[in-house]
Every structure is written in C-alpha cells, then in structure tokens.
Amino acid sequence: MKELDAAVDFLTRTDKLIITAHESPDGDALGSESATRRALAALGKTVIILNADPTPRKFAFLDPDKTICVLQDEAQVPAEVETYALLMLDTNDIHNIGSVATLVLPRVREYFIVDHHENEEDVLTGNVILKSASSTSEIIYQILREMGVEIDLLMAEALYTGIIYDTGCFIYPKTTAITFDIARDLVQVGVRPNLVYTHVYESNSISALLLQSRVLSKLELTLGNHVAVLTMDKEMIRDSGANYEEADGLINIPLKSEDVRVSIFFKENLDGLLRCSLRSKGAINVAEIAQMFGGGGHRTAAGFKCRLSLEKTRRAILERLRVHFQ
C-alpha cells in the first residue's frame, strides 16, 4: 500500500527506537505499542517503550515481559538518546505524550507518527495518519505485513485488543470489511476472542463496580433527554477505592438508551486534573467540540483536558450541542 510507504521506510532504516503513545494509554495505544516493539525486536532492532502514564490493570496481559515503562525521570532516558528515533502511536498531537514531550522528543534525531485520529489541520506531512482506519492497531498490522514480518501470537493478541477496543467490538462507524479481514487473520494466528474480551471488559475490580454506582447516581439528562452528563470527582475515586482508569467505559452506558445521542463524561483524577470525554451516535461530530478546547479524537469519540472550570466547560459544550436538538 503506497500510503504506508513512509512508515515502512522509517521502520526499515531505523535501528534504535523509542515508542510512545498518548497520555492515559488505552487498548489501541498499548496494543499497537506492544505489537510494534515485539516485531521490531524480532528484526534485531533496539526498541524500548516509554509512556507518560501507567498501563491500566486490565491491559497488563499485553505486556507479560514488563517491557512497557512509565517515564518518570531523566535517568530512564537512554544515555545516547540522540541516536534514537521516536515513534509516536495513536496520537498526532506532540503535546499529548506527557513527560515524553519534554524528556525525549527534543533530544531524539527524528520522530514519526502512525495514527488514525482526525486533526483540525493536516500539517503533519511525512507521517502515516489514516483517518479512515478503525484503529492504530489496524494500521500497524498492515505495516508489519508490508515489511514481511511474521506475526506471532503475542503480536496478534495485542493487535486484536487494539482493534476491538477502538471499534467497540466491531460496532463503531470506522469498522470496515478490512477490519474484519484483519481480525480473521489474527484469530487464525491463535487469538481467542473470548479470552481477550474477558481481559478487556470483564476484569474490573469490585471497587470499580462501586465507582460506577457513584458516578451513575449523579447522571444528568438534558436537552430533551438527548444528552447525558456524567461527573466523577476525586472523592468518588477515594471512597470507592478504585483506580482512575477503571472508569474508562462508563461514558458508553448512557448511549444504551434509545433517546440519548451524546454522552459527556467529566473525570477528575487524584491530582485534580480534569478531563472531558465525549461520545455520540448518529450525525453529531464530537471531535469538532473537543478541538474547540484543544483536544481531538474521532467523529463519535473524542476528548480534551479542561482548562476552564467544569461549569464553564459544561455550559459551552451544551450550548454547542443545543442546535442539534431544537
């Protein structure tokens, strides 16, 4: 595929790489990272993964050898970092990689992006950003095939995890026949879909269940019951004993209602950082809303860091959505 040539060239000619992904890495970020690291290491390359934030517990199975590191201080950066290249996966925003942006990015000899998110401005020339792809893992699968890499079971599990996570188990709009063809190939390698599903969707703690009950108890419906607003503050996390990452899937629950078209989730972590996630079904493009606040994502799934107060942010989002429900 010609559109993958730049990535194939970069990975073929580069022998020392640092791989990273966006802050709060999810199934697609971690799946694409894990598969890429394993594939490149098999080709004899020096590869390390440095992420800004820890791996959520439910995705730990993707890293049985504990190769994914959280970058906390400069001592973790290779001494000869200027001889490395940086591969950014599942984000096209160099400001969305946390500590890697300050400790690694300015010092490497070059960087390259593989991603599938929409961006307000197409200024990232020379990278591989396929907005039509269901996931970054789908793109990585195609790149590895172009490179002639034999995909083993651990790579296949990582890529399959990324695909099911970013397609919502094959239901989101970017799911295509290509997505199913790739999933079929990965299952033929040996992936067991039921086991991956259990890891990703059925491995939360009792604390996570308690957190879910607290968040849903504050559910607000507005704009004719077409928009749901969820809020999680750090007290809810402390009281339930859950981890911040275990609130990951709560935003999708209101969308199970026929009337709800958009779900908004304000999430505060234990350090007080407030983020907003947006999901929609139908014609409403929530990526455009996220971009208003310096974020981004997909047409039906997006997010951003809240730099204004929760109430000001909430009011601005609802005002933007009001036109869809008049």
pLDDT for 286 equals: 94
Average pLDDT of the residues in 284-296: 91
70: pLDDT strictly greater than 90: yes
Lowest mean pLDDT among 3-12, 22-31, 156-165, 283-292: 283-292
Q: In 79-173, where does DSSP find H-type helix?
A: 100-103, 136-146, 153-167
More confident position, 302 or 136: 136
Specify whether 321 is located in the same domain as 225: yes
Mean pLDDT in residue range 125-139: 92
Q: Is the pLDDT of residue 120 over 80?
A: no
- The number of domains in the chain is 2
Phi-psi region at 90: left, alpha or beta (left = phi > 0; alpha = psi -120 to 50): left
Does residue 119 surpass a pLDDT of 80? Answer: no
pLDDT tens-digit readout, 11-66: 999 999 999 999 999 999 999 999 999 999 999 999 999 999 999 989 999 999 99
Helix axes 27-42 and 153-167, enclosed angle (nearest 10): 160
Is residue 248 scored above 90 in pLDDT?
no
In terms of domains, do 142 and 250 share one?
no
Q: Is the pLDDT of residue 196 over 90?
A: yes
One domain for residues 181 and 211: no
pLDDT band at 144 (very low <50, low <70, confident <90, very high): very high
Q: State whether 76 and 186 are in the same domain.
A: yes
Q: For residue 121, is pLDDT > 80?
A: no
Average pLDDT over residues 54-79: 94
- Rounded alpha-carbon distances, angstroms, from residue 83 to 18, 65, 78: 10, 25, 9
Residues 156 and 169 in one domain: yes
Q: Which of 156, 183, 201 is the last residue of a domain?
A: 201
Q: Are 168 and 222 contained in the same domain? A: no
Cβ-proximal residues to 81 (8 Å cutoff; 6+ apart), any chain: 18, 104, 107, 108
User: What's the pLDDT at 34?
Assistant: 98
Structure-token pair, residue 110? 């070059």
pLDDT at 84 over 90: yes
Residue range of the domain that includes 289? 206-325
Same structural domain, 6 and 29: yes
State which of 144, 172, 201 marks the end of a domain.
201
- What rounded mean pLDDT belongs to the chain? 94
The pLDDT of residue 325 is above 60 = yes
Q: Report the greatest alpha carbon distance in the chain.
A: 59
CATH of the domain at 311: 3.10.310.30
Q: What is the pLDDT of residue 204?
A: 86
Give the integer Cα–Cα distance in Å for 4 and 128: 7
Q: Are residues 261 and 163 in the same domain?
A: no
User: Could you tell me if 159 and 305 lie in one domain?
Assistant: no
Question: What integer pLDDT is reported at residue 125 of this predicted model?
Answer: 63
Report the CATH number that the domain containing residue 197 is assigned in CATH. Answer: 3.90.1640.10
> Among 171, 201, 231, which residue terminates a domain?
201
Q: Report residue 141 as tokens.
A: 């699968």
Phi/psi at 282 (5° precision): 100, -145
pLDDT above 80 for 122: no
Same-domain check for residues 23 and 165: yes
Query: Phi and psi dihedrals of 25, rounded to 5?
Result: -60, 140
**pLDDT tens profile 168-194:** 999 988 999 999 999 999 999 999 999
Indicate if 30 and 165 belong to the same structural domain. Answer: yes
Residues 18 and 132 in one domain: yes
Whether 124 shows a pLDDT value over 90: the answer reads no
